[in-house]
Amino acid sequence: MIVRPASPADAVAMADLLNRIIAIGGTTAHQTPKSAETVRHDYIDGPETLTCVVAEAGGQIIGWQSVGWHHGDAHIGTFVAPDVQAKGIGAALFAQTRALCRAKAVTDIFATIRADNVPGLAYYARLGFTDIGAEPEYALNTGQIVGRIHRKLSLR
């Protein structure tokens, strides 16, 4: 596996991976599929994007992570193929993301995780993110209440 900066050429594969995760449900707050153009703009090289890295194995993107500005704060999103989760891919992505954020003088990274996303909550806790707030009444478009947890990691 290699971890490298994402490029616009990765947008289709990144969108495919994200859309597979959305279709499965339960581990992302995203509820509608995203086009490759949207993924490129929102996560790879749009004006609010700070960093974006991909994990690649056998010529396939198996995970990706992006940090971008949202309401003035640096927010992170992490997406790993369901069949290879809990194998160190997220940690490898974050090692690169952390270095890139530090190089850009980012001092804090924020994460918002669905409260029912047990693997996601565990992942961000392992990285050192700590709780700073919650939205227990956060609901999906279907009306299902899942809640959200807000976390922060200081890079200082």
| 89-128 pLDDT, tens digit each | 999 999 999 999 999 999 999 999 999 999 999 999 999 9
Q: How many distinct structural domains can be found in the chain?
A: 1
> Model confidence at 87, in pLDDT bands (50, 70, 90)?
confident
| Per-residue pLDDT, 156 | 85
**DSSP 8-state assignment for residue 136:** T
Buried b or exposed e, range 2-37, using 16+ CB within 10 angstroms = ebeebeeebbebbbbbbbebbeeeebbeeeeebebe
Q: What is the CATH number of the domain that holds 14?
A: 3.40.630.30
Among candidates 127, 126, 122, which has minimal Cα distance to 149?
122
- pTM tops 0.95: no
Residue 134: domain span: 2-154
Q: What pLDDT does residue 140 have?
A: 87
